[in-house]
Structure 1
């Protein structure tokens, strides 16, 4: 089962020819979750081939570079005869403003758009074997929060060799044991799952901050996230500017990633002043973080790896 992240918009408040405003598409085995929806997000989805069916949109805060893509996307879905409901999850106090965006210009979509205000520190979405939790962030003049996609633990590895040693016949009995069911053999012997199945293995963890200063809540959002997508608007030579505008530097993002035990760090919301070269942000993050730190380009994809190296994905960007 794969989790593929596509960086649809990696730029700051002012778009450039290379970087659009904030948007992140997560495809988890065909289920698409969109985090933020800056101007032009629908075109980025078309351009980078992510697929267009999104059931949940998670908004970090109401600044325009994170929400102004919503009206166009809503209307395009409507023109394409969408019937499926869309759920928008956003910080407390957002519903009225988001409803105005959804119905911009008096437009009323022909499919349900349900807006949910979610408090930080709670569950925004419970899936079959994962959940999306919220955590409070610190941005300027607005209520803001980040999101952590946390998978449930997976079953342990099945020891086929040990099962055969115990006399379990090859076939359906293997599957029943792996799913937690004891199996009785022809001679009356009972083989229990714990005899042939290893310890549960952790699922994957993805954390997305949106715009924020470095805060403890990001560290606490997930223990050792496999991918942390963190605000890194400026390099450290503009640390005062970062503080004044409620953003982080590349070094500050790296320090948060190190404290959280992250495996990979994606640096996003890059200021337009780095339109030609974002390497100063990337270099200072790499110097402060032992894992992989990178500034993704718009359209870049990243396969989130399993923490134990198992499963279908090995991790890495393309």
Structure 2
């Protein structure tokens, strides 16, 4: 399984990186995970829009799903694209995105599969285990398994202790680390830090830690150094173009 980072920023895009966005590939199948603001151009550097086989959205915030709109626009305007794109999301999570450009009927390009947190899904060669993880809105983390390896992902629920169970002995943990060390009071329990991500990675005994969803302006080296204090395994920061072979 291969993870390619398309964004990795939280809240809003910056000149350095778009928001959350990840391409997961295995056996020729391409799963687009959380296409947030400004991630479509990065996706198109790797594959064409029609090469995406399915999309998974963890929650309704635009920095995790707004990129679905331009992706569907491309498919709508492509006369050779005939099949709707499977989109997996919590009930109602992608409705606002699909409502954009209503005159173009972009929702016809999406085959939405709604599920409840805790569901197990089969998407192409992947088995997806989902779990509710706390955030300001309903959010799911997931564990993607295929070929004997696993990738755990928090969505924006990296502060939830349930992430430890979801990520137990995962090959790679890709987790939200919005802040470096101290989480502001109004975000505690809903957003995480590099320090807490490292603690959970250590407790879950994961093979590799990838920090993502950094607050705009955060120095990735600061996040990595802070995580190093709590986790001894390999650490990456999700920056556009980062490729992690999950094996």
* CA-CA distance at 1:282 after TM superposition: 0.8
For each residue in 1:199-252, what CA deviation from the matched residue of structure 2 results, as whole angstroms up to 9, or x when unmatched?
xxxx0001111112422322222431111100011111x322573482110010
Unpaired segments of 5 or more residues in structure 2?
Answer: none
3-state SS of the aligned residue for 2:229? helix
CA shift in 2, pair 1:56/1:62, >3 Å? same
Output the aligned Cα RMSD. Answer: 2.0
Moved more, 85-94 or 251-260: 85-94
3-state SS of the aligned residue for 1:229? strand
Decide which structure has the larger Cα Rg and report it.
1
TM-score of the superposed pair, with normalisation by structure 2: 0.91
Would you say 1:133 and 2:129 are equivalent positions?
yes
State the distance in 1 between where 2:211 and 2:127 align. Answer: 24
Moved more, 210-219 or 254-263: 210-219
Q: Which residue of 2 aligns with 1:26?
A: 24
Question: 1:3-22 to 2 correspondence within 5 Å?
Answer: 3-22=1-20
Residues matched between the structures, number: 245
Q: Which residue of 2 aligns with 1:272?
A: 216
1:83/1:111 contact within 8 Å kept: no
State the distance in 2 between where 1:65 and 1:110 align. Answer: 20
Would you say 1:210 and 2:155 are equivalent positions?
yes
* CA-CA distance at 1:39 after TM superposition: 1.9
State the distance in 2 between where 1:51 and 1:145 align. Answer: 27
For each residue in 1:68-90, what CA deviation from the matched residue of structure 2 results, as whole angstroms up to 9, or x when unmatched?
11111101122223122211111
Moved more, 280-289 or 85-94: 85-94
CA shift in 2, pair 1:251/1:65, >3 Å? same
TM-score of the superposed pair, with normalisation by structure 1: 0.72
3-state SS of the aligned residue for 1:37? coil
* CA-CA distance at 1:94 after TM superposition: 2.4
State the distance in 2 between where 1:268 and 1:147 align. Answer: 15
